[in-house]
Amino acid sequence: MKKFLPKLKNNTSGFTLIELMVVVTIIAFLSVIGVAAFSNAQKQARDGRRRADIDAIATAMESNRTGAPGSETYPTYGPSIFANNQQPFDPVDTAKSGNAIAYGGNSYQYVVTVNASDPKFIACARLEKGNGNSSSETSIVTTGTLNFYCRAAQQ
């Protein structure tokens, strides 16, 4: 047994515990940075889809407007105003319910309001990263924190 011990003692191949701990620490640090970047990319992608959906909703509402200029009426928001009868839903609404979905401390859904007395509509969505054009989901208010993206009637 003694003749094997000197070989082990003189064997310098392999890594020390300190070297292994440094490598694990670097990998953990890079993982944290990667997760944060991935989370931001997901938020930006969902916000991009929300903007595109609100633009599609506004286009569908304008396309289905009836009546002469000055006395036009807008349709009730629903699947029937879209060419394929499929209305867009917020990206976090995986059940496609159209109801407000609590996610990340906020509530997300597409809000479309049609004013019958003054034929106008407004379609809004809350953004996760901000950078919207409104601070309210019921009107285009450009003061304060702009957490909503809205489109209103063009007429």
Q: How confident is the model at residue 7 (pLDDT cuts 50, 70, 90)?
A: low
DSSP-assigned letters across all residues of 19-42 = HHHHHHHHHHHHHHHHHHHHHHHH
Task: Find out whether 81 and 60 touch, Cβ atoms under 8 Å.
Answer: yes
pLDDT number for residue 143: 66
Spans of all domains in the chain: 16-152
Reported as type and span, the H/E element at residue 103 is strand 101-103
Please tell me the predicted confidence (pLDDT) of residue 60.
92
Which residue has better confidence, 137 or 64?
A: 64
Check whether 6 has a pLDDT greater than 60: no
Q: Does pLDDT of 1 surpass 60?
A: no
What span, in angstroms and rounded, lies between the C-alpha atoms of 76 and 112? 9
Taking only the tens place, the pLDDT of each residue in 69-88 is 777 888 888 899 998 888 89
Question: Which of 94, 154, 77, 89 has its CA nearest to residue 125?
Answer: 89
What is the model's pTM?
A: 0.75
pLDDT of residue 116: 73
Q: pLDDT by residue (tens digit) across 92-150?
A: 887 787 777 777 778 888 888 888 777 788 898 889 887 888 877 767 766 667 888 99
Q: How far is CA 111 from the centre of its chain?
A: 15
Would you tell me how many other CB atoms lie within 10 Å of the CB of residue 126? 21
- The answer to whether the beta carbons of residues 53 and 124 sit under 8 Å apart is no
Alpha helices in the chain (DSSP H): 5-10, 17-63
Hey, what amino acid is at 50? R
